[in-house]
Structure 1
Amino acid sequence: MTPFLFDARTRDFDKAMARQLQIEFKKISNRMMPERNTQRFSHGRRWSTKPDNGGDEAGEMQVHSFELSTRFEDIVSHNLAVLPDFRQRIAESMFSQLMGSLYETVNRSTSKSGNVVDAKAHESLAHAFLAALRQIEFGVDEDGNVSMPEFHLGSEAYESMTASLEAQGPEFREEVERVKAEKIAKALERETERLSKFPHDEEG
């Protein structure tokens, strides 16, 4: 009897599963972070960056782990139909851990820079939203369009925030639009100044 008869096939299966997991993970992560906005680096476990007001001066790889299980009956009966669902659950768990690390990093950075809005310090969630909007700098994408900020909330916080915003009067909404217009104008101004630093060919 030859031991580990299917060793090569097992390696092939693992490689195929890993490739499919990468595809599933990309599909999920691209909803939050477009692939054009991501970068990949080859490095060791630690790295250092130029210190600034909010960034980390040094960092290292963090271990992410999770546990999934499948029914023993599905293994015994060779039920391959469970594989797509199992693969999807792995990809979603990986993305959940990634987002947890991302929020933790953002929280650490904003706490360090002091760019934090305490909702309890405002009369309502809507006014806390407006205060946060005033502190955010809008960006400009590669097509010259202003990128509006995103607010990430849990389901309960989202419902509370929505209810608070809908309860505000026209003066509040006008102020929100005024702040947005001001932020958009400043973002375009910064982008114009940035582009002016690069030489360009004159037409004609």
Structure 2
Amino acid sequence: MTPFRFDARARDFDRAVTRQVQAEFKKIGSRMMPDRNTQRFSHGRSWLTKPNNGGDEAGEMQMHSFEFSTRFEDIVSHNLEILPDFRRRVAESMHRQLMESLYETIERSTSKSGNVVDAKEHESMAQAFLAALRQIEFGVDEDGNVSMPEFHLGAEAHKKMMASLEVQSQEFEAEVEQVKAEKIAKALERERERLSKFPHDEEE
């Protein structure tokens, strides 16, 4: 008998499952981070960035892991239904760990720059929201449209925030809209200044 006679087929199976997990992970991740905003490196575990007021000057790859147990009965009975469940759970676990790392990186960056708003220092969650909005710098996408900021909250904090915003006066809502308009104008002006630094062909 030839030992490991299915070794090549096992490798093919592993590669196929890996591709499926990657596709599932990409699908889940695209809801939060568009694929065009991600970068891939073929080698290396660490990197250096230019010193700045926020962010890490040095970084390295972090390991994310996942453990999955299969019942012996499922193996004996050739229960293939466990494969889609395995693929989904791996992708969801890896995405959850990625988001945790992302939030930890953002927290280090904001703590380093001092760009932090403490809700406890404000009269209400709504006032904390307005204070945070004042400190956020809006961006502009590749199509020239201003990207509105996103607020990520836990379930309980989100409930409190929405309840606080819903009882605010029209004056508060007008102030929020004024801040947004100012931020949008500044973002567009920065983009015009950025584009002016690049040479471009004049229209014929």
With the shorter chain as reference, the TM-score category is: over 0.9
Show the counterpart of 1:83.
Answer: 83
CA offset at residue 80 of structure 1? 0.4
- 1:61-72 matches, within 5 Å, as 61-72=61-72
- Give unpaired runs (5+ residues) of structure 2: none
Q: Which residue of 1 aligns with 2:149?
A: 149
1:179 is aligned to 179
* In 1, Cα distance between equivalents of 2:201 and 2:62: 46
| Structure 1 equivalent of residue 122 of structure 2 | 122
Deviation string, structure 1 residues 45-79 (Cα, Å, up to 9, x no partner): 22211110002111112121232223332222110
TM-score, structure 1 as length reference:
0.97
Matched, 1:136 2:120: no
RMSD over aligned Cα, in angstroms? 1.0
Report the secondary structure of 1:40's partner residue.
coil
Number of equivalent positions: 204
2:176 maps to a residue whose letter is: V
The aligned runs of 1:193-204 (5 Å cut-off) are 193-204=193-204
TM-score (norm 2): 0.97
Query: Any unmatched runs of 5+ in structure 1?
Result: none
- Measured after TM superposition, the shift of residue 140 of structure 1 is 0.4
Tell me the CA shift for residue 192 of structure 1.
Answer: 0.7
Identity %: 80
Matches within 5 A, 1:3-14: 3-14=3-14
Q: How does 1:11-90 map to 2 (within 5 A)?
A: 11-90=11-90
What per-residue deviation string (whole Å, max 9, x for no partner) do you get for residues 154-191 of structure 1? 11111111111101111111100000000000000100
Provide, for residues 8-65 of structure 1, a one-character-per-residue CA deviation record: whole Å limited to 9, x for no partner: 1111100101111111111011110101111112332222111100021111121212
Equivalence map 1:83-102=2 (5 Å): 83-102=83-102
CA distance in 2, matches of 1:96, 1:17: 20
Between the aligned partners of 2:49 and 2:185, the Cα distance in structure 1 is 31
